[in-house]
Amino acid sequence: MHFKLIITLVEDSKTEKVLQAAREAGATGATVLNQARGEGLKPAKTFFGLTLEAQRDVVLLLVEEHMCRRILEDIAEVGGFDESPGSGIAFQIDVEDAVGVRHQISQLAEAVEERI
């Protein structure tokens, strides 16, 4: 079984919706890192030297490669990533090897067979 890692940078107010969409699309778990910062094309606004920006979360999803694209599209839709600048970003990278996922492989095998 081959895996991909979806890395999502999202406003913390949308994290739960993104997690729910990922699970409904076939993700079996996630790791959330809180209080990340990011900057896009335009620098963050400041007020008397204090940065005014929403907190971000980093959501890491290790998913089976055949399910990856659907999960990626679903979380982008729920997060509104293409709707407005700065709402979030998600991308995938190949995972060469993974351990600690043996208990999920049987469940994933059934789900992948249904989709192929």
Query: How many CA atoms, within 13 angstroms, populate the side-chain half-sphere of residue 29?
Result: 9
- Indicate the pairing of strand 56-64 with strand 3-11: antiparallel
Beta bridge mates, 3: 64, 95
- The phi, psi pair for 14, rounded to 5°, reads -105, 0
Residue 12 carries which DSSP code?
G
- The phi, psi pair for 38, rounded to 5°, reads -150, 165
Domains of the chain, by residue range, sit at 3-39+52-115
Using CA atoms, how far apart are residues 82 and 88, in angstroms rounded to an integer?
8
Beta bridge mates, 47: 50
C-alpha distances out from residue 75 to 10, 42, 80, Å:
10, 24, 8
pLDDT exceeds 60 at position 88: yes
Fold observed for domain 3-39+52-115: Alpha-Beta Plaits (3.30.70)
Report the predicted TM-score, pTM, of the whole model to 2 decimal places: 0.80
pLDDT tens by residue, 15-52: 999 999 999 998 988 999 998 877 666 666 666 666 65
Q: To 10 degrees, what angle do helices 65-79 and 15-24 make? A: 140
pLDDT tens by residue, 46-74: 666 666 567 889 999 999 898 999 999 99
